[in-house]
A and B are shown apart, each in its own frame.
Chain A
Amino acid sequence: MARKPKAGPASDPEMLILASLASGPKHGYAVMGDVEAFSGVTMGPGTLYTAITRLVEKKLIVPKASPGRQRPYQLTRTGARLLGTQLNDMQRVAAAGLERLRTA
């Protein structure tokens, strides 16, 4: 059953898909399983493909030719760059926030 993603930037479907594809091309079903495994977020099929559609439109990911019905998607250079920037920002914010929590 699809579980509502946790709130916050770390559960943003587009970000999760980009992070999943960072390890290599995957088709939709594999992305769904991978995201659930590394983030604990279960995306519904509608959510997954809405996010994939937006990412393809933004040219952050591209479908690869495939003989089967499932097309694997891979990160584009722009997608990888954006993911890196976003994750670094998140890391910086997370580190600052955690540090402040410790010292408060």
Chain B
Amino acid sequence: MATLQKTIADKFLAKLAESKAVDVQSIAQLRSLLADGKKPKADELVKIFSVPAGGQIK
């Protein structure tokens, strides 16, 4: 049986991808961060959401 945490994480990532509010690369990083019940830290999330210099914006 999937744990509630995993169910929520899976639905969260699927809905996020559907909304296109977050880029694919960031979602992949989030998936890795939330895998296996890991507990993400705020600073790790800040890094993921911050587009690196030279990334999307020219």
Q: Do A and B bind each other?
A: no
A contact residues vs B (CB 8 Å cutoff): none
